[in-house]
C-alpha cells in the first residue's frame, strides 16, 4: 500500500516564488504541496483539504490573523514561517514542522 503523502499548504503572495516553492516541495515523493496566494485562498483550500503543515511565506498582510484563523479551524495544525531561499531552508522548515506534529 502506498504511503500517504504529507500534505503541505504553502501561502505567499509572490507568484514566481510560489512556483519555485511548489516545485521544490513536490520534488519529494513523500510530500504534496498546494499553493495559496492570499488569505482568502488559503482559508478556502484549508477548509477543503486536510493539510498536515502550513508554510507562511512573504506578502500576506496579516500573518498572525491568518495563523489564528487556521488554528481555529484545526487547532493541531502547525504553521511554520517560510523564509524563501530556494531549497536552502525549505527541507529544514518542513522537517521541523512535521517533527512538532510527530509525523516523522
Partner 1 sequence: MAQSILHLADSRGKANHGWLKSAHTFSFGSHHDPERIHFGALRVLNDDHIAGGRGFGEHPHDNMEIISIPLSGELKHKDSMGNEAVIRSGEIQVMSAGTGIYHMEFNNHQDIPTELLQIWVFPNKRNVEPRYDQTSISYKENPNVFEQILSPNPKDAGVWIHQNAWFHIGAFEHGKSIRYALKAAGNGVYVFIIKGSVSINGQSLNERDGYGIWDTDSFEITAEKDVEILLMEVPMNI
Residues that bind partner 1 (CB under 8 A): 12-14, 16-17, 20, 57-61, 63, 81-89, 91-92, 95-96, 99
Comparison of 30 and 86: residue with beta carbon closer to partner 1: 86
| The pairing of beta strand 6-11 with beta strand 53-56 | parallel
Q: How far apart are CA 48 and CA 82, in angstroms?
A: 22
- DSSP states along 22-64: HHHHHTSTTEEEEEESSHHHHHHHHHHS--SEEEE-TT-TTHH
Using the minimum distance from each CB to partner 1, give the nearer residue, 40 or 88: 88
Q: Least distance to partner 1 from the beta carbon of 64, Å?
A: 10
Least Cβ distance, residue 40 to partner 1 (angstroms): 18
Of residues 29 and 48, the one with the C-beta less far from partner 1: 29
Closest contact distance (angstroms) between CB of 3 and partner 1 is 20
Amino acid at each position: 500500500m502506498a504511503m500517504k503523502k504529507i500534505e503541505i499548504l504553502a501561502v505567499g503572495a509572490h507568484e514566481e516564488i510560489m512556483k519555485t516553492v511548489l516545485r521544490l516541495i513536490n520534488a519529494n515523493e513523500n510530500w504534496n504541496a498546494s499553493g495559496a496566494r492570499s488569505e482568502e485562498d488559503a482559508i478556502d483550500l484549508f477548509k477543503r483539504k486536510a493539510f498536515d503543515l502550513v508554510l507562511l511565506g512573504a506578502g500576506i498582510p496579516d500573518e498572525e490573523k491568518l495563523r489564528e484563523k487556521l488554528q481555529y479551524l484545526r487547532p493541531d495544525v502547525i504553521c511554520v514561517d517560510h523564509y524563501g531561499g530556494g531549497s536552502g531552508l525549505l527541507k529544514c522548515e518542513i522537517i521541523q514542522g512535521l517533527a512538532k506534529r510527530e509525523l516523522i
